[in-house]
Every structure is written in C-alpha cells, then in structure tokens.
Chain A
C-alpha cells in the first residue's frame, strides 16, 4: 500500500481504469441454487505494457474470458481458500493470523491484486500500448454459493414464487466478488448496466434506475434492465430477487418498498415514517438525496439487519412490525435511519482505502446521531452517546485498543499498530466482527468530538462540501479522473475541515484517530475551607492495555450553593492537583433557591450536606468530550443531590450507578423519588429500579416496609379498589409502559436474609401474570408478558441440594412448581397464539435454562436443541442456541460442542453460523490455561480446519472462528497438543540442524520442508500429507514434457471440477485453478504461443512452490525471465502471497 494521499488525490493501484461494467444474469435456478451470467468490463489501460488484468472473483466457475472478442487465457488463484497449506503441525494463531493477512493481501484489490488473472491476448498488445479501450467479457456461473449470494427456498409445495423463495446478495465489507467477477474495491468506481432475467412472478431489485422490464419470448420470464449512471464501486452493487410485494411510497414516488408475500400491511406501516428521515438528512446536509430513486427490500435470513448499497438497502424482514408493536418501532426506525445515512456516506461517497473507512462510518454514524437527537430527544441522544462511550471504553480496556486510522509502514512486525490483537487490522476481512462494531462506534464518537471542536455548523458545511464535490464529479461522463472526487480520504476530510473552520484539529486527530486507546481518569477532591478552594486531584492510568495519556483541556462542572460553574482544567504531564476557587461561602442562606446549570432555580433540602462545604456535586468532563472512563469519588449525599437535581440524564445515570455502593435509607429515598417523578427520563427511572433492588438487598437486615417498589408499582399500575389486581393494560403512555415492564424484573432480584426471593414478591409477579388483561389495549402486550417471564426467571435461586440427588418432580420446590406451571402454559399457548417475534417463547427458553442451571430441573439440552433447529424463528433459535452453549460450558459436554460446531458448518442461515461462534467466544466452554476434558487435539484440528479452509466463503465467519480459537487456545500453540517428538530437525539439504518449528510459534513453516524429499518420503509419518503433495508437484516440475502433460491433465480435471474450489474437500491444498477456455481447450492451446503457455504454466508452479524449496523458486524465476524477456515486466511473482510475505518478514531460524 504505497499509495500517496497527497493533494493530487487518488492514485489507483491498478494499471488500468475501469469505466463501465455490465452484469447480466440470464438464469437463476432456485431449485439448484445456481446462477448463470456474464460480466463485461470496459477498461482503459493506464500503462503501455499492460498484459495482465487482475480481477476479483470467488466461488464463480468461469467458463470463458474474451478481451475485445479474442479468447484470453486466465488463471485463478485464491490463497484465502486455504490459508495455511500442507498439514503442518503448526497450530498457533500467530502463525495463522500472519498467513491469513498475507493471503488477503495477495488478492486485495486495493493493492492491485485479485484472484483472477487474465492474460491480454498478444494480438492486442499493440492496441494496449496505444492505451485504447479493452472490453473484458467473462462468462461465469455460480453453483450453490456458500457466501455472497444467499438463497432462501422454503421446503414446501408450489412454484418458487408461491413458496416465497428469494435470493439476495450479502456479505461483510467488499464481498461482491462472491457473486460476479469484478474489481471488488470501494475505490474503483464505474457506471453500471445490470440485467436480470427472472421468473415472471418474481421481481429483481438492484441498483440504479429500472429502465424497463421485458418479457422473454416464451413470456415466462422477465428481464429487468437497470442503469446506474452514478459511478459506483462494485462493492456497493447488490441484488434481491423474489416474489416481492411492491409498495410505492405514498410520500415519495421515487421510493419503492419491497417485502415478501403477505407482509404488505406490515410494510406499509413500517415504511410510513421513512419520508421524515429523508427530509431530515436533506435538510441538515442541504443536499438532495444523491440517487434518482431509492429501494428498500425486506428479506428473510438476512446476513445483517441493515445493509446499504447504492440506491437500495436490504433489511431483515424481522424489522417489519404492525402498529400494535411498541418496542420494535424505535429499533426499526433507527435501522431505516442508519441505512439512509449510509446512502450519502458509504454508498454515494465511497472510501479511498480501508484506512479511510472511519471517516465514512464516522460521518454516517454522526448524522444518524443528529437524527436520533431530533427524533427521540436530547435525553435519548445523550443516553445513547453515554452507552456507546461505555461500550468502546470497556472494549478497548479489555482488548487493548481500537485504531481508527491504521497506517502501515514498511511492513515490519514491530510497526504493527495492533500487535496486542490476535488478528490483523490491515484489512477489513481479517477483523473480528466485534472489533469492527466497536470501530464504527468509536468513529462516530470521534466525529462528535470534532463537532465539539469546530461547531456543528462547520461540521455540516464540511459534509455539504464533500457531497457537492462528489455530486459534481458524478455527473461527469467518462472523465474517470474526476470520479475520484467521490472518494473520501482521511487527509481530504481533514483538509476540508481546516478549510471550512480554519481550526487546527490535528492534536485531536492524533489522539483519537492515529492512536488507539482511551483515557482512564481517577478523580477525588478535598475542600479547603480556609482558602475556600476545591482541591481536585485527577490521576490517569495510561499504562494498562487500551489506555492512553491525555493532555489538554478538561471541563469540570461544580454545583455550588450559589450556582453551577464550569471550569476548564489543563491536564498536563505532571500536575495532578487542581485548585478551583469556590464562589459560595459555606454559610448557607436557607431562603435562597439554588440555581442550576440550566437556569432553573430549585428548593433543596440541604440538611444532608456537609456544613462546612458549599459543594453539592462535581462532574468531570460532563459533555463527554474525551473518550474516557471516569472514576470519581464524592460522598453519598453528593451523589444523591446529583441524582435528584442535576438535569442531565447522563449525570443521573452516573449517580445511580455510584449509589449502588451506598446502601443507606437516604439513597433509597432518592431512588424512590426519582422512580416516582414522571418528568424524569424513563431510562433513568428504569435504571433506578435495578439500583434500588441492589440497595434493598444490601440493606436486607434493616429494610422496613414492603419489598422495594411493591407499593410504588401498586400505586401506579394497580386498581384503586383492589390493590392486588393490576389495571387492565393501557400502554398509551410509553414511559409508564416501560416502567411497568421493568419494575417486576427488578423486583424479582430482591432477596431476603436467606438469600431467597421473598415469597411476597413471587406471588406478586404471579398475580401480575394471572390478572394480565390486554383486551382493551391498543398495543400488543407480548413484550410485557415476556418480561414477566424474565421476572420469574430472575426470582429463581439455587436449589438446596442434598447429596446431589437427582432432580425429579417429587422433590421439586413448591415455588418452582408455580413458576414451571406458568412457563408451561405460556410456552404451550405460544403454539396456539404465537406472539410477535415469539418473544414469549424466547423468554420461556431462557427461564427454563435458568431453572436447569440452578438445579431445580434436570440439566438437559434436548429441548433447546429442538428449538434451535432450522425452521424456527431466528430469535427463538438464538435463545435456544445460547442455552446449548451454556450447557456445553457448564456440563462440559463434548457431544453438544460437536453439535454446535456441526451447525456452524452446515446451518443454512449465515447469521446463525456467525452467532454460534460469537456465543461460544463470549461464553466459552473453556479458556486457555484451563484444564478441560474438551480441550483435545481433535478439537484443535477441527477448529483449525474451520478457520483455515472451512469458512473461506464468509469473512465474518472465518474471523469468528479465529476469535473462538483465540479464546480457547490463545495465541501460541494450544497446550493440549502433544509435544513434538523431536526437538531438533535435521535439514539434510542445507546440512543444518534447526529447532523443530512446531515448538517455535513464530517460526516459518518452510523450515520443515527441507526434511522432505522425493527420495525419502515415508521417513516421518507426520509429514506424509505434505509428501504426496510435493511429490506430485515435483513431477510436474521435471521438464517441459512433463510440464505439458501435467498441463493437459489439469485441463481435463478442470472440466469436472466443482465450481467452488474452497468448498471441495478432495482438492489438494496447493492446487491452483488454471481455467483454460473450456469450449476448445486444445485449439487455444495450439494458438497460444509457446512462450506464453510456458509462462502461465511456470507461473503456476512457481506459485505452488513459493513456500517450498528455495532452490526451486530460484530455478523458476530464472526460467521465467528467460522465457518472457520482452513482455514480462512484472515477473508475475506472487510476492504478496502468504508464504512469501511471511518468509520476507519473519526471521527464519535457519538463515
């Protein structure tokens, strides 16, 4: 990545410029899950001697390639299919991660690489030298794709349309190469013509304008013709085909919504709000929506809830809801708003390189935040910011930092900015999914920090500038150099900021963007009465992983008797103490009201205060303008004042969390008061419920009166005449709805002196369930009922077990019997009257697992496994799988672990596969350094295989497997593997003795190769696999006669080859796919000049041997040069391939 990001703008890593691409899919077979089509790329060479064109393509079976109507030879090589070749005993993650990063690099379009290499026919060389246009035409097909394109085909009677079968593109980051050959980069823009021929009962939704729809001659199919005239990256191309119901947005006729059959009423309701989001973004950006149309498609088995592509977004169908559903509504609207924000930044404006991703994610996340503020209010917005901040802080402290703008120097290991991580952050495709989520979170928080610095007005001006530049550029035809204006880079963005605002934000960028880590403050204070000064001490921890040192301004707000005062402290290297003069004398003037920050004046009961001090409370960095964690010490009464009187919801939430440590009657009173205050933000009140439960438990011996919150709940939600009966449901007031839902859940956490849930509380919850009556309610009560079940689960405490007796019905605790009764009824009623998103089933499954875990019910995964099967609603499956994962851990069950891992490999739903790995990582059956019967060699091999080759069709899944491997075994060699027999390995060829590489984590695999030789294979049993491989290759390598034999052999093999090389098991590891023109291989063979044939071939071998004997490598290179003196500028060495990169970088012990 030697790209310069100067003022000149973008420099393409490719020796050509793509201007236009045609994608034509002629045939889609839902039964066979296959796709047939062609692509045609119009490219302009930018260098005279362009003789090879590298494109991205995965999974596709390529039949034929023509360049300007001339047959062209091509080679297919994808090192990511199998990251580490040959059955090495190397099983450490360090080794794998390096190899994986190198493999991804080797095909990275941003480095000018690709899996598919097309040789420009020699007849065109002259043409190319004149830099004239080339048209690359590729016929391809896809058979049962495992990634990139997802087929949903319900197993029932009827035509595909009647069954609701559909297909859509999906994937993590640039994954378009999975379904058609392209330059799968966000920085290679071109215009598009897209054609899809589908069954007449289906609709094909894709990017750009639908120009026309034409029947085929037999009138049984239709062809959808799309034109996308705005230059767009291939990675932003998408497709959804299915028997969709079509809804034209009644407010904006250019916007069309699509959903699966029968869901139209839900679609109408769900999208009825979208126009307001449009209006909002267009207004703040003072810019029209960039595309001439917008489409939303709601599909089943979605890869992610929201995926944004050029002029269309693909959503999960599970976001659809009716007007009766409360809880899902804000969530779905947030998804819609997110998708739309990404239309501007992410789709229309694309990124120059991966290291600029943070700008796009930051801006789209930031404007989405502005929309949140406008739609849900400042409280919700601040709460969200706090939540995101807490999340990123926790993640960075746990893992050691998230770097927004990774810049990579000379490729030395030492420079690796992410050495604390078990994966490379150099590519999106090597990132752990959790890291990427946190990356996005940090990006928008940093944008907010920039806003704090330069003001929102300037911020929006910058966005507007970026958009107008892009929009001017997009209307330019074929002036491809202009199109790079549509790409955003970090430097360009920063330059724009400094131009617009005139401010230097470099320190801010350096701190948060070029550097990872967050700040950890510890604060405490003392009041000096003599000097009337507040002595504030602020310490930092910048040595722990994930932290960094903060130097600069820090705002502190002090609420005194006389008012609230802001102070800006300068945090410097050595100064810990800061003196802040106080305004008020400690004498208090009782008659006066106390002015707050917002100008409000309130009466306070000041009796709790320290008589000597005028301080009510102190806040550090109240505006969250540093990415930090603050641990601040102040006395309990100060937190109580802060909770009662500070108007900022974040301060209130902080106070609630702090009060957990002060279980006193005063804290109880403050929390109860907040709970009752209707003006108080509902989330604060919800949080107060849980804090109150904790305090009540700590105070259990001195607690007086009924259980916490009971009388409050009775007063708020029960009938006046009969306080034991809850009112019939009326959820018109959402604030009280959320409180009504939460209070029982929190109450169920109450414990008596025996650490049991008080009988009174359990009966209270059971009564709530019994008297629940939703007949007169406008809204569904499914979430409420689900939370009542959650409450039941919360009330469960561990069973008192005598001598590990077997759990049977006879010795069932009577309280548990009551709970089980309810759960049984609820779960069974779900079969007759299912609730929205089956929330009740989900809660029941969770509750059953709690009962199992606490020893009331025999621990058994059978029930969960049945609910986890394909065919249940996804939420139910995940809840069930979570229980199985937990069971696997608690019962150390090898069988269940295997069952889960089988599902990871075979389940039809990509999200489920991902989620299982994710849940296993978060709740692992064991971790490294832990003795476990599950930790054995077979498991190591299995997981290794999974991440090495079993997940090559899904970046996210592979990274998930890496995460799991890391959690289970750590970075180095798993401890359960037997020690290698030999400490030393004799290298016969080089006559050296080296340490056995299998016990040196950092060493290079190639070291073990020298042991092998064709003459003495069988010497070591462990290496047999490698042997057979190398032997075969050895033979091919012999001489030209053998060469051509092998070549033909390959050709013949090719015809029977499965289309997805990565998924085929028989495929030998080092094998490479050289696809000749399948139509007439021999004729082409003869047509080709001898030299070029050889070069292809040699290249092929060269690659296979790159990590083998150096001697061979050398020989190849030599031959190569010899054969292609004139034309070969690039010796076509895959210098970026995993092995070579590795051998360059890491010091080999044998050298």
Chain B
C-alpha cells in the first residue's frame, strides 16, 4: 500500500514518458476505481459528470482505501504480526469513524455537587468548578526559601560547574603544571598567545554585553530628563541635528561662529573620497 503512494507521486512527474510495469499497475487500479466511482454516481442518479469531479472522487476513494490499509498494517504490526486480521480492519474503521457520526463528548468525571450560583450571577454563566478543585494538598516538605541555603547552593553549583568545565578543558587540551611530579592535581590550561590580544582583553564578554545594554538604556532614560539627549545618538543620523546644534551652542567650546546654520555635520573624515583628476600633467 505504501507502493501506491510512492507510485502516485511517480506518475505525476513522468506520466507522459515510457511506462514501467509499476505505472501500468497503477493505471489499471486507477481505471478500476474510476469505474467504481462512475457506477456509484450513476446509481446515485447522475447522468454525467465533469472529468475533474470524477477524478477528485477517485482520488478521495483511493486515499480512503489506502489509509485503511496503512492503518490496518500499523495495527497489525503493533501486535507483532505480519498478517492483518479482520480485527485490524475493524479497529481501523472504528478509528477512522465515518464522518457522519457526531463524536460523543465523554462525560466529565464529576465528584460531588457543584456549588449553585448565587442569586446575583445569571443562570447562563458557567457552573462553578468541581468541589475537588478547591481542595488543598499540602506538600510534605517546605520548599527551600532560606536565603543562606540558596546562596550556598548557587555558590557551590557555580563552583562545581566551573571546576568541571575547566578540568574538562584542561584534560582535552594542553596544560601546564606547577609541580613537576604531578600534572593532574592543579592542571592549568596552557597559555596560548592571541593574534590580536587586545580584543579579548578589552571587549566585554557577551554576558557582560547584555548587562551593559541594560545599563545603557537606563542611562539613556536618565538623560531624556536632562538636555543631554544626543549623547548616545550616532552622528550619521540626520534627524535630531537641531538638538545637536543647540547643545553645541550651549557648549560654546568649538563651534563658535558656525552654530545654528549647521544642520549637517561637516567633518572631513565623513566627506566622500574624491575621484582622481584626469591625468595630471607630468
């Protein structure tokens, strides 16, 4: 039955090409099913049908039968058999429950009587939950909430993780030792030079970076209160330039004469690089 499925996809792509025996079987089955569908349709009183409609129905029928087969096979294999029996088919059919039957919602387990609505609650509101949902079951031990224990736990946990991690690193890589006679008690991961040593030394780790972002944003919040808004603004933004200019006016430091008019930062390092002049005279 699995063959059918794979055969089906095979034909779709290569139907117009030379046929193989598998294709032939497939076409034969298909034709048979088409005949079945057509006769059922005639039985049902149809005089004619569009080809597409017949094809669709054929497809549905084929799928349904395939599914019964696949499912039955599964049940059969589930019980460690290779030969399907009738019961497999029955279970399958039950499972695939004909669509027409409305599923019966199983009655929820009830325990005791639900509390009736008080008078101020309209009757169409849902009922109160079952009484057992109100029952408390105390655990037999208090959860650890003692600060000291928590801190101790956290500390030793971290320490264990660190030790395990570094020991692992030391075991898997090169090591150095402080004692010539013993290389395992205090294994030191060997010092390895960097190609660009300042990067690891200066840049915060990712963990710290996260913390820093939080810090930064909180700083920024502080600054919205004051006038120093553009502190963290990148300079290639052209939007808040006016604020920039006003800050510059306040700090009369450098831009004495040019304030106000300055809307675009004129920094020589931001200017575009010029194209070379056409062939200078030599």
Q: Which residues of A contact B (CB under 8 A)?
A: 154-156, 163-164, 200, 203, 209-217, 219, 222, 246-248, 250-256, 260, 262-263, 266, 268, 272, 275, 278-279, 282, 288-289, 293, 300, 317-318, 320-324, 719, 721-722, 725, 770-771, 773, 777-778, 780, 807-809, 820-821, 824-825, 827-829, 831-834, 836-838, 848, 851, 857-858, 860, 862-863, 866-867, 869-875
Q: Are A282 and B253 in contact (CB under 8 A)?
A: yes
Other-chain contact of A725, B148, B162, B230, B262 (Cβ < 8 Å): B148
| Known contacts A809-B185, A833-B207, A872-B193, A248 near B274 by CB under 8 Å | no
B154 and A719 form a contact (CB under 8 A): no
Q: Given A213-B271, A863-B188 in contact, is the A834-B200 Cβ separation under 8 Å?
A: yes
Chain B residues whose CB sits within 8 angstroms of the CB of A832 once the complex forms: 165-166, 169
CB neighbours of A838 from chain B (8 A):
200-201
**B204 near A848: Cβ-Cβ < 8 Å:** no
* CB-based nearest A residue for B197: A873
Q: Is B119 an interface residue (CB 8 A)?
A: no
A824-B270 contact in complex given A288-B256, A318-B201, A771-B151, C-beta closer than 8 Å? no
- Interface check B116, CB cutoff 8 A: no
Interface size class of B (residues with CB under 8 A): 35 or more
Task: Kindly provide the distance from the CB of A844 to the nearest chain B CB, expressed in whole angstroms.
Answer: 9
- Kindly identify, within residues 237 to 275 of chain B, every residue whose CB is under 8 Å from any CB belonging to chain A: 244, 247-248, 251, 253-256, 262, 265-271, 273-275
Say yes or no: B203 contacts A266, CB within 8 Å: yes
A834-B251 in contact (CB<8A): no
In the assembled complex, the CB of A374 is this many whole angstroms from the nearest CB of chain B, namely 16
For the A-B complex, the count of residue pairs with Cβ-Cβ distances under 8 Å equals 225
Contacts of A288 in B (CB 8 A): 253-254, 256
Cα separation A260 to B151 with both chains bound (whole Å): 41
Complex contacts, B251 vs chain A, CB 8 Å:
251-252, 275, 278-279
* A256 close to B274 (CB less than 8 A): no
Q: Tell me the nearest residue of chain B to A212, going by C-beta.
A: B274
B89-132 contact mask (Cβ, 8 Å, vs A): 1 or 0: 00000000000000000000000000000000000000000000
Residue numbers in A under 8 Å from B176 (CB-CB) = 862-863, 866
- Binary CB contact string for chain B from 189 to 209 against chain A (1 if under 8 A, 0 otherwise): 111111111111111110110
Least Cβ–Cβ distance between A388 and chain B, in angstroms = 29
Judging by beta carbons under 8 Å apart, are A250 and B148 in contact?
no
Q: Is the CB of A809 within 8 A of B179?
A: yes
Give the contacts of B146-200 with A (CB-CB under 8 A): 147-148, 151-152, 154-156, 159, 162-163, 165-166, 169-170, 176, 178-182, 185-200
Query: Which segment, of B4-12, B63-71, B212-220, faces chain A?
Result: B212-220
Q: A867, B207: Cβ atoms under 8 Å?
A: no
From residue A786, how far is it (CB to closest CB) to chain B in Å? 13
A252 CB contacts on chain B under 8 angstroms: 248, 251, 253-255
* Contact in complex: B202, A858 (CB < 8 Å): no
With A288-B256, A721-B147, A828-B166 as known contacts, state yes or no: A300 contacts B269, CB within 8 Å.
Answer: no
CB within 8 A of B186: which of A248, A324, A773, A820?
A820
- Give me 7 other A-B pairs in contact (C-beta within 8 A), A278-B254, A837-B201 excluded: A210-B268, A213-B271, A214-B273, A288-B256, A809-B179, A871-B197, A872-B191
Provide the residues of chain A in CB contact with B232, threshold 8 Å: 268
Supposing A253-B265, A825-B163 touch, asked if A867 and B191 sit within 8 A by C-beta, the answer is yes
Q: Could you tell me if A248 and B202 are in contact, using CB atoms closer than 8 angstroms?
A: no
CA distance A875 to B52 in the complex (A): 81
A848 to B179, CA, bound (A): 12
Which chain A residue lies CB-closest to B175? A828
CA distance A11 to B192 in the complex (A): 57
CA distance A829 to B169 in the complex (A): 10
Say yes or no: B201 contacts A829, CB within 8 Å. no
What is the distance, in angstroms, from B41's C-beta to the closest C-beta of chain A? 72
Contacts of A219 in B (CB 8 A): 276
Contact B235 A324 (CB under 8 A): no
- Give the most central of B190, B230, B233, B235: most A CB within 10 Å: B235
Any A CB within 8 A of the CB of B80: no
**Residue among B201, B270, B276, B277 making CB contact with A873, cutoff 8 Å:** B201
Instruction: Assess A871 versus B195: contact at CB under 8 Å? Given A254-B254, A320-B202, A832-B166.
Output: yes
By the criterion CB–CB under 8 Å, are B182 and A809 in contact?
A: yes
21 A-B pairs with C-beta separation under 8 A:
A163-B195, A209-B268, A210-B268, A250-B233, A252-B253, A252-B254, A254-B254, A255-B254, A278-B251, A289-B254, A317-B202, A725-B152, A773-B151, A777-B211, A824-B188, A831-B189, A834-B205, A848-B178, A858-B180, A863-B191, A872-B194
- Please state if A321 and B275 are interface contacts (CB–CB under 8 Å): no
Q: Is B179 in contact with A215, judged by CB distance below 8 angstroms? A: no
A820 to chain B minimum Cβ distance, whole angstroms, is 5
Out of B193, B244, B255, name the residue touching A869 (CB < 8 Å).
B193
Q: How far is the CA of A1037 from the CA of B205 in the complex (A)?
A: 69
List, in ascending order, chain B residues with CB within 8 A of A212's CB. 268, 271, 274
**Pairwise interchain contact B201-A323, C-beta atoms closer than 8 A:** no
B231 proximal to A (CB < 8 A): yes
* Among candidates A209, A809, A827, A851, residue contacting B181 with C-beta atoms closer than 8 Å: A809
Complex: chain B residue closest to A727, CB-CB? B151
Q: CA A312 – CA B268 in complex, angstroms?
A: 15
Please determine whether B265 and A248 come into contact, CB atoms closer than 8 angstroms: yes
What residue of chain A has the Cβ atom nearest to residue B256's Cβ?
A288
Contact B193 A871, beta carbon cutoff 8 Å: yes
Expressed in whole angstroms, the minimum distance between the Cβ of B129 and any Cβ of chain A is 40
Query: Closest CB-CB distance, B220 to chain A, in whole Å?
Result: 11
Contact for A278 among B182, B193, B208, B253, CB less than 8 A: B253
Chain B residues with Cβ below 8 Å from A778 are 211, 215
B258 to chain A, nearest CB (A): 9
Please tell me which one of the listed residues A210, A215, A858 contacts residue B269 in the complex, with CB atoms under 8 A apart. Answer: A210
Give CA–CA (A272, B232) in the complex, Å: 9
Q: How far is the CB of B274 from chain A (nearest CB, A)?
A: 5
Find out whether the CB atom of B267 lies under 8 angstroms from the CB atom of A253.
yes
Most chain A Cβ neighbours within 10 Å, of B152, B170, B188: B188
* Interface-centre pick from A247, A250, A719, A773 (highest chain B CB count, 10 A): A250
A215 touches B200 (CB 8 A): no
Q: A266-B202, A719-B147 are in contact. Are A858 and B179 (CB under 8 A)?
A: yes
- Residues of chain A with a CB closer than 8 A to B208's CB: 322, 324, 780
Interface centre among B151, B196, B254, B277 (most CB of A within 10 A): B254
- Given A266-B203, A866-B176, A253-B181 contact (CB < 8 Å): no
Q: Is the CB of B193 within 8 A of A250?
A: no
B39 to chain A, nearest CB (A): 75
Question: What is the chain B residue whose CB lies nearest that of A827?
Answer: B188
Q: How far is the CB of B162 from chain A (nearest CB, A)?
A: 6
Which residues of B sit under 8 angstroms from A837, Cβ to Cβ? 201-202
Looking across the interface, which residue of chain A has its beta carbon closest to that of B270?
Answer: A248
In the complex, are the beta carbons of B195 and A156 less than 8 A apart?
yes
For B275, list chain A residues within 8 Å (CB).
Answer: 214-215
* Interchain residue pairs A-B with the least CB separation, the first 4: A871-B193, A828-B166, A210-B268, A722-B148
